[in-house]
C-alpha cells in the first residue's frame, strides 16, 4: 500500500497551508490539485509545492470539485501510488483521524474507506438536512445501507478500482462524491464507514452552489436510479448470496 493525500484546491489560500502542515506532520505525501484558482491562491500553492513531499497538479481552468478529484486520482496513479486519501482544502476535516483511516485501508486494501461526519454547531442546518435526502436516494440506488454518508469528502480510494468506476458523464462538481461511491458499490467494492469530526469551515469559503449543485445532484440521482434498475438482478443476487 502506497498512499498519497489528494487535496482539490480552489481559492482556499488562507487555509490550505495549515491543512498541508497537518498532513506532512504525519510524513504523508501530498498532491495538491489547483482547480483554476485565483493568482493569490496559485502563488500559495506554488510555494507549498517547493516543500519536500508536496506535489502540485495544475488544471488549466476551474472544472469543479469532482473534476479536480478525478485529475488528482489519475495523477496519483501515474506517480505510482495505490491509494488516494481525499480531504478538503478548507480545514473542515479532522486530520488527526488520518492514521485511523489508513489503518482501515491497510486492513481492507480493496475497500472504499469513507468518513461519516460527526458535526458540531458550525454546520449549516439547511445543508445538514438536505444531505439526508441524498443519503436516502443513495440507499435506494445501491439497495443497501453500505454507504452511511455519501457526501463526506474525507475518504481513502483504492485507485485501480476507483479509476475503473469513472465513466463518461460522471458528475464533475459536488455530485461526484455520492456518484463515485454508488458506482463503486455497484462494482462490488466494500465500504468501510468511519465516524469523523467535521467543522465548517476554517476560512469561511464554500463553493457549494445551493441552486445549481442541488440541480446537478437531483439529475445524478435520476441517472443512478435508472442505472440501479438496469443492475437490479445483479444487486438482488448479491444480497441473496450474502
pLDDT one-digit tens code per residue, 32-81 = 999 999 999 999 999 999 999 999 999 989 989 999 999 999 999 999 99
- Give the separation between CA 196 and CA 123, rounded to whole angstroms: 14
Instruction: Give the global pTM.
Output: 0.88
Which residues touch 178 (CB under 8 Å, ≥6 apart)?
A: 134, 138, 147, 150, 151, 171, 217, 220
β 112-119/155-158 pair status: antiparallel
Cβ-contact 193, 117 below 8 angstroms: no
| Nearest CA-CA partner of 201 in 133, 99, 122 | 122
User: Which residues form the domain of 116?
Assistant: 3-241
Domain count, the chain: 1
Dump pLDDT digits (tens) for 77-127.
999 999 999 999 999 899 999 999 999 999 999 999 999 999 876 666 666
- Give the separation between CA 84 and CA 162, rounded to whole angstroms: 10
Predicted pLDDT at 215: 80
Angle between helix axes 176-186 and 212-230 (nearest 10 degrees) is 10
> pLDDT over 70 for what percent of the chain?
90
Dump pLDDT digits (tens) for 158-186.
999 999 999 998 988 888 999 999 999 99
- Give the separation between CA 142 and CA 189, rounded to whole angstroms: 12
* Length of the chain measured in residues: 242
Residue 170 DSSP SS3:
coil
- Give the separation between CA 31 and CA 20, rounded to whole angstroms: 10
Predicted pLDDT at 12: 92
- The residue ranking higher by pLDDT, 20 or 173, is 20
**Sheet hosting strand 112-119, strand order edge to edge:** 54-58, 30-34, 3-9, 83-86, 155-158, 112-119, 191-198
- Give the separation between CA 39 and CA 42, rounded to whole angstroms: 5
- What CATH number should be reported for the domain holding residue 94? 3.90.550.10
Amino acid at each position: 500500500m502506497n498512499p498519497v493525500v489528494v487535496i482539490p484546491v480552489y481559492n482556499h489560500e488562507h487555509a490550505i497551508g495549515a491543512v498541508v502542515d497537518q498532513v506532512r506532520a504525519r510524513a504523508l505525501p501530498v498532491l495538491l490539485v489547483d482547480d483554476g484558482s485565483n493568482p493569490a491562491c496559485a502563488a500559495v500553492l506554488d510555494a507549498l509545492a517547493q516543500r519536500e513531499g508536496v506535489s502540485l497538479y495544475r488544471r488549466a481552468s476551474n472544472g469543479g470539485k469532482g473534476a479536480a478529484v478525478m485529475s488528482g486520482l489519475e495523477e496519483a496513479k501515474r506517480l505510482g501510488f495505490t491509494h488516494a486519501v481525499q480531504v478538503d482544502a478548507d480545514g473542515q476535516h479532522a486530520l488527526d483521524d488520518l492514521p485511523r483511516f489508513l489503518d482501515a485501508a491497510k486492513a481492507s486494501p480493496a475497500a472504499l474507506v469513507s468518513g461519516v461526519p460527526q458535526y458540531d454547531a458550525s454546520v449549516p442546518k439547511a445543508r445538514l438536512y438536505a444531505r439526508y435526502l441524498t443519503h436516502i436516494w443513495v440507499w435506494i440506488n445501491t439497495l443497501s445501507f453500505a454507504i452511511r454518508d455519501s457526501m463526506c469528502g474525507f475518504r481513502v480510494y483504492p485507485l485501480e478500482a476507483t479509476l475503473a468506476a469513472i465513466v463518461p458523464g460522471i458528475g464533475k462538481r459536488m455530485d461526484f462524491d455520492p456518484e463515485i461511491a454508488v458506482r463503486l458499490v455497484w462494482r462490488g467494492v466494500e465500504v468501510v464507514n468511519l465516524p469523523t469530526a467535521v467543522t465548517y469551515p476554517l476560512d469561511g469559503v464554500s463553493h457549494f452552489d445551493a441552486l445549481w449543485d442541488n440541480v446537478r445532484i437531483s439529475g445524478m440521482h435520476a441517472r443512478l436510479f435508472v442505472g440501479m434498475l438496469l443492475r437490479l438482478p445483479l444487486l438482488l443476487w448479491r444480497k441473496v448470496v450474502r
